[in-house]
C-alpha cells in the first residue's frame, strides 16, 4: 500500500513491527495522507467512542427482534479497545435487563 495505488491510508497501529513503523514514518515525511485509529500512531488520530458504538449496535439488534446477543472480545492482554467494548456490552445488557424489569 502506498502512493502508487491509494490516495491515503487509515492505519490501526496495534503493534507495528519495525519495518512497518519505518515505512509509515517515511510516508508521513513525504506528506502522504494517513490517519491513525489510536493515539499510538505518529500522526493524526480519529478516535472511536466504543461505549456509544456498542450501545447503538446492541439497540439496533434488539429493536430488530434479536434477544440473544453475544460479544466476542479480543485479547484483553493487548492494548486494544476490547476491554472497553466488553464493559460497554455488559452495561448494555444491564440496561436492557433493567428496562424489562421496570416495564
Residue-wise pLDDT tens digits, 5-45: 889 998 877 778 899 889 889 999 999 999 988 877 788 88
CA angle centred on 54, ends 89 and 46, rounded to 5°: 135
Domain boundaries, the chain: 1-47, 50-102
C-beta contacts of 73-79 below 8 A and 24+ residues apart: 78/14, 78/15, 79/14, 79/15, 79/38, 79/40
- Give the sign of the dihedral formed by CA 65, CA 67, CA 51, CA 8: negative
Tell me what the mean pLDDT of segment 55-83 comes to: 83
Q: Which of 47, 19, 43 is nearest to 33 (CA)?
A: 43
The per-residue pLDDT for 100 is 60
Predicted TM-score of the model (pTM): 0.56
Amino acid at each position: 500500500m502506498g502512493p502508487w495505488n491509494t490516495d491515503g491510508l487509515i492505519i490501526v497501529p496495534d503493534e507495528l513491527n519495525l519495518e512497518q513503523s519505518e515505512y509509515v514514518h517515511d510516508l508521513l515525511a513525504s506528506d502522504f495522507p494517513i490517519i491513525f485509529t489510536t493515539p499510538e500512531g505518529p500522526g493524526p488520530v480519529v478516535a472511536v467512542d466504543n461505549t456509544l458504538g456498542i450501545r447503538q449496535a446492541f439497540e439496533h439488534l434488539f429493536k430488530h427482534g434479536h434477544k440473544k446477543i453475544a460479544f466476542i472480545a479480543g485479547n484483553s492482554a493487548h492494548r486494544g479497545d476490547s476491554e472497553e467494548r466488553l464493559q460497554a456490552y455488559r452495561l448494555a445488557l444491564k440496561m436492557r435487563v433493567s428496562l424489562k424489569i421496570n416495564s
